[in-house]
A and B are shown apart, each in its own frame.
Chain A
């Protein structure tokens, strides 16, 4: 093993290069080699050290002596005296202070300024594979306190009063859902955490699982206590290898310490969790299809009612809850309902995690209080549209979400306000599209997804999604007529009323937005013209030519 007894830093920031630091560094290197010290002394060229007027700067460690205005002679003296004999050369030492830290730009400041990390409070800060890190952050303490001081009804009521709504897509009030299962009598009840996350552009659940797995397990145990369930499953999308591994380790460590298992905290309450790996289709994220898949059947949605809350897994009352939703349980019980309601808007409390993708500069994941305007997310946190282009459209909530135009950029992102513009919060995906893309092409890409993911069980969805795709492909080849489009919208409305699950019910959402907000562009295509210059005749003769904007 190499061990350097001293490190010599020579600055190489661009102002200094002109001052001759390169020659200084080469001279030091030459002398060190000559004296056969290269295995003991490490010479490093660094960035600017922030004292350019005094350059070239040489710093010698471990003692941290700083030399300024070092010329070739001074370099020789430093090597002979300081490095060989260990006597710093007082005469050449720098008296000021190096300022490199303060000179660095805080590039991520905007990124975090508007964020409020509740669900993500530990993500990226703790070691997810070590339960001690979670315990250090008061992990499992809320579970202990709740088992000790609160009745299950009180837990349900707290969640109800907090106003927490499902973050998996539908936005159903979580407290109400827990209440239904709690009231249903059965010999066995289940908590199923939905981590299938199939919505394009959504990756929040994965990041929570990989960053703070115990918060999910503790939240599930609390739900179990609230409704009287002793068994939990995390249904994780099969491709999420790392999430599966992290959750598995977390379960093992929690079991080992008795934080999962029987008689938790001597309260008589039992709760254990198992992993179920997903079978890999979009529909399997739908709660009834998910349950079918868990039971070993084909992942197809079933008729509701009965809802899983009363008759779910193996016909038993089951709470299906999204990862982000369940990760909100601990913070609510920890900081209280008033605190939680103070975040966000009166009708949508708490925070929401959004995943930014598409043509923005800072693609990634953010957590903000509910009700932040879309503009602030795209231009503030998101750093604006990439490549110097301009904004065209944003789709909120995943493929089933509405398509908003420039005029709707000031829409506050919460359940109510998004509804008024024909969208929904959905899973929290925000796909930003710039003006180089054609709206018809974007629509084809979306419809292709629906057609591909239809499980085929019900005719309106199976046939309808393909017809919709066909019509929009025709439009992109300039062969569609106004009647074709009218018929397509009518068809999408029929699908909305007659499909079994939200997958077939929702294509109307993005389509309506597109038809309303981008009417002139659609009109242009009827007149054989594509303003963005993307579509042309016979574009789709070969399959799958749509814009790849989801990646």
Chain B
């Protein structure tokens, strides 16, 4: 590994970022999240995405964000829109969010923790 290699890797990652899908669903999967069944939430989202054939959606697993009280926590990032964070997302609520927010651009207000402009 040299500096050049590192820069090349970063460039690749940056390019990959650019080519990233327009919609990302980030699911917190630290062990506190897992203790609150984030695994089931993840599965529900994956299932819903598959069932609906939403190929432009990417699901990303990440660590705990610190709001352990509100786990399972998910974030929806759509190109050109504010990032929306949802808390205490059970599998059912996750399916609802996919239908409403992902497919139909309607934020599910009562489940929102924050909206980052």
Contact = CB atoms under 8 A, between A and B. Distances in A.
* A and B bind: yes
Contacts, number: 161
B100 A127 contact: no
A138 B30 contact: no
Given A135-B13, A241-B31, A361-B69, A123 B113 contact: no
Interface string B18-42: 0000000010101110100000000
A242 B99 CA distance: 31
A329 to B, nearest CB: 18
B79 interface: no
B104 A59 contact: yes
Nearest to A386: B69
A141 interface: yes
B99 A42 contact: yes
A309 to B, nearest CB: 30
Contacts of B105: 64
Nearest to A132: B13
B31 A363 contact: no
B66 A104 contact: no
Contacts of B61: 127, 129
Contact of A365 (B5, B68, B110): B68
B13 A1 contact: no
Interface residues of B, number: 51
B63 A363 contact: no
A126 B115 CA distance: 18
Contact of A48 (B9, B70, B109): B109
B68 A363 contact: yes
A49 B82 CA distance: 17
Q: Report the interface size class on chain A.
A: 35 or more
Contacts of A527: none
Contact of B9 (A49, A126, A132): A132
Given A2-B52, A47-B109, A259-B1, A7 B104 contact: yes
B52 A4 contact: yes
A47 B69 contact: no
B52 A242 contact: no
B3 A148 contact: yes
A44 interface: yes
Contacts of B108: 46-47
Given A103-B109, A135-B6, A257-B9, A111 B67 contact: yes
B69 A364 contact: yes
A97 to B, nearest CB: 13
Contact of A124 (B63, B103, B112): B63
Interface stretch (A19-27, A203-211, A332-340): A203-211
Contact of A136 (B17, B66, B84, B103): B17
Interface string B79-117: 000101101000000000001100111111110111100
A64 B103 CA distance: 10
B67 A362 contact: yes
Contacts of A101: 82, 84, 107, 115
B62 A61 contact: no
A189 B21 CA distance: 46
Nearest to A117: B66
Contacts of A7: 99, 103-104
B108 to A, nearest CB: 6
A133 B104 CA distance: 29
A203 B32 contact: yes
A105 interface: yes
A100 B117 CA distance: 14
A196 interface: no
B62 A126 contact: yes
Interface string A197-234: 00000010011001110000000000000000000000
Contact of B31 (A49, A123, A243): A243
Contacts of B106: 9, 46-47, 49, 59, 98, 100
Interface in A35-76: 42, 44, 46-49, 59, 61, 64
A269 B48 CA distance: 49
B1 A258 contact: yes
A34 interface: no
A362 B31 CA distance: 18
A207 B63 contact: yes
Contacts of B66: 120, 123-124, 207, 364-367
A202 to B, nearest CB: 13
A144 interface: yes
Interface string A114-156: 0000001001111111001101101011001000100000000
A100 B99 CA distance: 15
Contacts of A2: 51-53
A240 B13 CA distance: 30
B104 A44 contact: yes
Contacts of B14: 136
A314 B92 CA distance: 54
Given A2-B52, A101-B115, A108-B114, A124 B107 contact: no
A104 B28 CA distance: 22
Interface pairs A-B: 10 shortest CB-CB = A211-B63, A124-B65, A258-B1, A365-B66, A108-B114, A136-B13, A364-B68, A132-B13, A104-B112, A104-B109
Given A2-B53, A111-B67, A203-B68, 12 more contacts: A61-B104, A107-B112, A124-B28, A124-B63, A127-B60, A132-B16, A136-B10, A148-B3, A210-B31, A242-B34, A257-B9, A364-B70
16 contacts: A3-B53, A47-B109, A59-B106, A100-B109, A106-B115, A111-B114, A123-B63, A124-B66, A125-B65, A127-B60, A127-B61, A128-B63, A136-B14, A136-B17, A242-B31, A265-B6
Interface of A: 1-4, 7, 9, 42, 44, 46-49, 59, 61, 64, 98, 100-101, 103-109, 111-112, 120, 123-129, 132-133, 135-136, 138, 140-141, 144, 148, 203, 206-207, 210-212, 240-243, 246, 257-259, 264-266, 361-367
